Amino acid sequence: MDNNDYKHIVQDVTNIYLGGRLTYDEMMNAEDIPFKLKSIFAHYMLREVAGETSLENHLFHIEKNSMSYMVFKKMKAKFLLNVFYEDGHGKNKPGYHIDEFTIDDVIDNADIRANMNTIFLTEVRISKLKMMGVTI
């Protein structure tokens, strides 16, 4: 993979889409991320992880009792994971398929935790409306 693969920031009217390989430092320095989201990252996430941590690395190490878990849950974040399926996800040939998961799906799924070296986060989708509900 190229150094900039899965390092994007896109917004539409209702959501913010963050590439899974972005680090918190990169997001804090980006001009096109809303101030509210930067404040949430600074106040909650960067107290638990270092700035050079990517969203992908952070996701696979979140615990249910952590503040990061509670914030992602409150924002109704959706995680697009590229998952390898032996059965081809119903297509009878093995391969990778992108599926959408909630924070609870990722944490509660033992297969995802066990295979985190072959699964990668392509994108995080955060609802702007739900993000505004997070207090700082």
Question: What CATH number does the domain containing 126 carry?
Answer: 3.30.465.10
* Residue 72 structure tokens: 């992602």
pLDDT in the model for residue 40: 97
Q: What is the pLDDT of residue 17?
A: 97
Question: Is residue 3 included in any domain, yes or no?
Answer: no
Confidence category of residue 122, pLDDT binned at 50, 70, 90: very high
Domain that holds residue 88: 9-132
CB 73 within 8 A of CB 107: no
Q: Would you give the DSSP letter of residue 54?
A: B
pLDDT in tens, 11-57: 999 999 999 999 999 999 999 999 999 999 999 999 999 999 999 99
Do the domain assignments include residue 22? yes
Q: Are 16 and 128 in contact (CB under 8 A)?
A: yes
Among candidates 74, 100, 77, which has minimal Cα distance to 18?
Answer: 77
User: Does pLDDT of 92 surpass 90?
Assistant: no
Look at residue 2 and tell me if it is in a domain: no
What's the predicted TM-score (pTM) here? 0.89
In a domain, 4, yes or no: no
- Give the CB-side neighbour count of residue 75, counting CA atoms within 13 A: 28
Region 58-85: what's the mean pLDDT? 93
Total domains present in the chain: 1
